[in-house]
Chains A and B, each alone.
Chain A
Amino acid sequence: MSAPTLTSPAKSLTGSFTADAFAAHLASLPPLPAWWLDRKRAAYERFASLPMPARTDETWRFSNIGTLTLDGFTLPEPTRAKLYSPIGIPKAAKLVFANNRLSSREALAADLAKRGVIVDTLQHALNQHGDLVREHLLAQPPKLGSAKFAALHEAFLTDGAFIHVPKGVEVGLPIGVFSYAAGAGAAVFPHTLVVAGENSRVTVVEYFGSATETDAHFAVGANDLYAGHGSQLTYIGKQDWSRAALSFQLNSTVVRRDARVQSLNLHLGARQARHESLSQLQAPGAFSEMLALTVAHGTQEFDQRTLQIHQAPNTKSDLLYKNALLDRAKTIFSGLIIVDPDAQKTDAYQSNRNLMLSDEAEANSLPGLEIQANDVRCTHGATSSRIDPEQEFYLQSRGIAKDAADELLTFGFFEEVLAKLENEGLHDALRDLIKTKFKK
């Protein structure tokens, strides 16, 4: 009845990410604040001592544990590969990272910079805006099962994006952050930190991609979104790693009084992708809208874990995760709404819809609730089904061929989520990106 003891050698707990690799990583960094280096060293210790996920871990239920590996990866050299840029919509500023280093940037317009908006690299911000970074960078606990990978991310985090919008400033155009991996076995650790000040407004669009379709990569990305009082923060994440990548993305959102965060994650790439999303509603009036679209094909596995924590009265969260499954793909949605004691008047919703487009695909849903206050409105729903034959028949009766009808209905399935975006350019760009995956 005692906990299983770890008898496996330490090597299997660190894989390619050995103590030597960590020392080399530290040596490669420019001068950075001591507190940050201390945190990285502590993180490496945690990473090296925590066990790999086990089949019996509830937070990994239904996940394929056997295909998780830390072996065969390297910290990549700078790359000169030509990088695909997917979204042509106008941006307020842009940062492009490749193999953990800044590769190009488009600076912010002078008027926004003058009003105090910062779009900079994390390395630079650690030295220039240390207090702000220290307060928010990886400040939230990893609650969804990937503590080991979160520690690995912190230990090897090299550079990333730092975005700060000061009190009362609105940034009209989206800010773009692009992260690429190039070269076989490249291990990347993208990070985006967004701090939206009081009553500010900003949209951040993030893209993850690979230089080729076939190289194996290892990606552990994370982001921290902090929405200050009354702010409006929109985040779009597009995961399009190579089809041989193993991906972890660990997102954390903090929503303060009367703030509103909308996040939409589009999952297309990787052979196995785990996405963890934590949303903490910390003060009255906070609202978090969590959206996700997944197109899973081949033998891809998408493993999405979410947690909505209502920590104060009068907060609201609304989650809608839609998966379309083709071929022999597998998806897991595990969501939990926690309503703390005294978080009365909570309004929480959680919905997972799986569209089964193949007889070999597998959808797993674990929609959960833990409610400790009574004056709340909490509902969740999960469905798994094929295209509605009646709708298909209706379109066919209007002269639309079956294949075209199915494609229309599949896009109709996604449209409910895309329609929630205010920016029409983004809406179209996302739809185009999804289409690339349906072209065989």
Chain B
Amino acid sequence: MKPPTDTLAPPTENPVAGIDQSSGNFRYDVKYELDAGTGLSDRTVDYISAAKKEAPWIREFRQKALQTFLAKPLPTHWATRDLENINFDKIRYYLSSGQKPKRTWDEVPDDIKQTFERLGIPEQERKFLAGVEAQFDSEAAYSNIKEIVSKQGVIFVNSTEGLREHPEIFKKWFGKVIPTSDNKFSALNSAVFSGGSFIYVPPGVKVAQPLQAYFRINAENFGQFERTLIIADEGAEVTYMEGCTAPKFSTSTLHSAVVELVALKGAKIQYITVQNWSPNVFNLVTKRGLAHEEAEIKWIDCNIGSRLTMKYPGVILKGRKARGEVLSIALANDGQHQDTGAKMIHAADETTSNIIAKSISVGQGRSTYRGTVHIPKHLKGCKNNTECDALLINTNSRTDTYPAITVRGDRHAVQHEASVSKVSEDQIFYMQQRGLTEGQAMSLSVNGFINDLARQFPMEYSVELKRLIDLEMEGSVG
């Protein structure tokens, strides 16, 4: 085993940029058995498909998606031109050191195991998780589910296994919530996807503890394209959490996932993301859920890392009384643009949706809220509530809000509110009076700003979030 290579300058050099990325900022020199090379062509797609020994329909699906990706322009007529800095020819689309995820940590190769131990994954698994999948570059290195959960019939595998071993369950919904042609990056993912979680929860099964996936990028110039599909059958309940880190490179890294959720009648899915990529990662993710009658889908989306994140988790409210919710926290520091938001597409009577987005811009960071609420004709009793609050810490911080709301008919209630403010000087003064430093007071105030959202996170995550914000606020004042 080789020693880890620290690629980042010591964290003292720039204490403000990137939250405690020092904890994720290390890498091992891993020897990859499978490498699709640099650049993207139909040969790349064939290589990935062959490596995974996929059924012919999947290979065709990928090839078609590649054509869609090549045909679609970048969405720069509304999105940031920073997207033009992605060089698709310089990215490595598939890297793995083995196809089959290990079921115990002892079997995982040492350097990869060390990675996840440094990130604390096995420890969290023992403490509070029902199952864990740990993805290292393109493939899951480890995947395990507690026996008690698998005995209930819950399936928790990666995308390759899911499509190969349970096509009767997953093929029906695969690519149905987010079609390949949804956007340029969903097409890219559909062409080269690898890894991610395929989960099926049988009718009436309530998974008590969260399932977790951890995504780790280790290689330079790499693109990670995991694909997740979660199906909660009638009356089932499941919570899924994902975390991610990558070492900081001087070159850019691309992460472009597609996440599809299907909540059948009366099911509940909660999907929690704490995104903490290093500041060289383009994080361009498409996430959408389909909520059937009386089902509930809740996205809790927390974006702290990355160079540019564009992510608008959505819910299609397809069945009567379906409910969708997005709770979003974004923190943008120097050099970061968090372009996040939500989409709520009402497609049945008496559906309700709620969006609460809070963003914090520090230094020259830029945070953007972009949202869609759509209530088409001939529905009745639909409700949407949207609240966006932005906090600007420094004089040159930036925030934008771009919602789009369409309502047809007179039987709905839709409201949208947004506000922009800075930290109250009175509050800071009061806390300083009580002996806190300005930095501590600022941290406390920022944590107070997001407190009502952070409280909805599982405890372990909200503690972590608070710690990350404290770190991020260090040195932001004075």
* Chain A residues packing against B (C-beta within 8 Å): 1, 56-58, 61-62, 341-342, 344, 354, 356-386
What B residues does A58 contact at CB under 8 A? Answer: 77-78
Say yes or no: is B400 at the interface (Cβ < 8 Å to chain A).
yes
What A residues does B78 contact at CB under 8 A? Answer: 58
Given contacts A379-B417, A381-B417, contact A374 B392 (CB under 8 A): yes
What A residues does B412 contact at CB under 8 A? Answer: 356, 384-386
**Are B415 and A382 touching (Cβ within 8 A)?**
yes
Q: How far is the CA of A1 from the CA of B377 in the complex (A)?
A: 35
For A367, give its contact among B377, B408, B416, B420 (CB under 8 Å): B416
Q: How far is the CA of A158 from the CA of B393 in the complex (A)?
A: 51
Q: How far is the CA of A341 from the CA of B392 in the complex (A)?
A: 12
**Are A382 and B420 touching (Cβ within 8 A)?**
no
For A368, give its contact among B397, B401, B422 (CB under 8 Å): B401
| Closest residue of B by beta carbon distance from A370 | B400
For A375, give its contact among B77, B377, B395 (CB under 8 Å): B395
**Are A366 and B404 touching (Cβ within 8 A)?**
yes
| Closest residue of B by beta carbon distance from A354 | B407
Say yes or no: is B99 at the interface (Cβ < 8 Å to chain A).
no
**Are A368 and B395 touching (Cβ within 8 A)?**
no
Minimum-distance CB pairs A-B, first 9: A374-B392, A356-B410, A384-B407, A369-B401, A386-B410, A378-B420, A359-B409, A365-B405, A379-B419
| Closest residue of A by beta carbon distance from B408 | A362
Q: How far is the CA of A62 from the CA of B372 in the complex (A)?
A: 12
Which positions 380-406 of chain B face chain A at CB distance < 8 Å? 390, 392-406
For B400, give its contact among A359, A366, A368, A386 (CB under 8 Å): A368
* Further contacts, 12 of them, CB under 8 A, given A359-B410, A365-B405: A341-B396, A356-B409, A362-B408, A364-B404, A379-B419, A380-B401, A381-B417, A381-B418, A382-B414, A383-B413, A385-B414, A386-B413
**Are B406 and A374 touching (Cβ within 8 A)?**
no
Q: How far is the CA of A365 from the CA of B77 in the complex (A)?
A: 19
| Closest residue of B by beta carbon distance from A334 | B404
What A residues does B401 contact at CB under 8 A? Answer: 367-369, 380
**Are A386 and B411 touching (Cβ within 8 A)?**
yes
Q: What's the nearest-Cβ distance from chain B to residue A329, in Å?
A: 11
Say yes or no: is B73 at the interface (Cβ < 8 Å to chain A).
yes
What B residues does A61 contact at CB under 8 A? Answer: 404
**Are B77 and A368 touching (Cβ within 8 A)?**
no
* Chain B residues packing against A (C-beta within 8 Å): 73-74, 77-78, 377-378, 390, 392-422
**Are A368 and B403 touching (Cβ within 8 A)?**
yes
A-B contact pairs, 24 of them (CB 8 A): A56-B77, A62-B404, A341-B395, A358-B410, A359-B410, A361-B409, A362-B377, A365-B416, A366-B404, A367-B403, A368-B403, A370-B398, A371-B392, A371-B399, A374-B394, A374-B395, A376-B392, A376-B421, A378-B420, A379-B418, A383-B413, A383-B415, A384-B414, A385-B413
| Closest residue of B by beta carbon distance from A382 | B416
**Are A360 and B402 touching (Cβ within 8 A)?**
no
Q: What's the nearest-Cβ distance from chain B to residue A119, in Å?
A: 42
What A residues does B377 contact at CB under 8 A? Answer: 359-360, 362
Q: What's the nearest-Cβ distance from chain B to residue A169, in Å?
A: 39
**Are B395 and A373 touching (Cβ within 8 A)?**
yes
| Closest residue of A by beta carbon distance from B389 | A379
**Are A365 and B403 touching (Cβ within 8 A)?**
yes
Q: What's the nearest-Cβ distance from chain A to residue B68, in Å?
A: 14
Q: How far is the CA of A360 from the CA of B396 in the complex (A)?
A: 45
Q: How far is the CA of A87 from the CA of B254 in the complex (A)?
A: 63
| Closest residue of B by beta carbon distance from A365 | B405
What B residues does A1 contact at CB under 8 A? Answer: 73-74
**Are B417 and A380 touching (Cβ within 8 A)?**
yes
Which interface residue of A57, A341, A359 has the most chain B CB atoms within 10 A?
A359
For A382, give its contact among B402, B403, B411 (CB under 8 Å): B403
Q: How far is the CA of A62 from the CA of B404 in the complex (A)?
A: 9
What A residues does B405 contact at CB under 8 A? Answer: 363-366, 382, 384
Which interface residue of A58, A371, A379 has the most chain B CB atoms within 10 A?
A371
Q: How far is the CA of A372 from the CA of B377 in the complex (A)?
A: 38
Q: How far is the CA of A375 from the CA of B395 in the complex (A)?
A: 7
Q: How far is the CA of A339 from the CA of B94 in the complex (A)?
A: 44
For B393, give its contact among A56, A374, A386 (CB under 8 Å): A374
Q: How far is the CA of A109 from the CA of B417 in the complex (A)?
A: 48
Q: How far is the CA of A384 from the CA of B384 in the complex (A)?
A: 10
| Closest residue of B by beta carbon distance from A332 | B406
Q: How far is the CA of A384 from the CA of B382 in the complex (A)?
A: 11
**Are A363 and B411 touching (Cβ within 8 A)?**
no
Q: What's the nearest-Cβ distance from chain B to residue A148, in Å?
A: 17
**Are A369 and B420 touching (Cβ within 8 A)?**
yes
What A residues does B397 contact at CB under 8 A? Answer: 372, 374
Q: How far is the CA of A62 from the CA of B305 in the complex (A)?
A: 33
Given contacts A361-B410, A362-B407, contact A378 B419 (CB under 8 A): yes
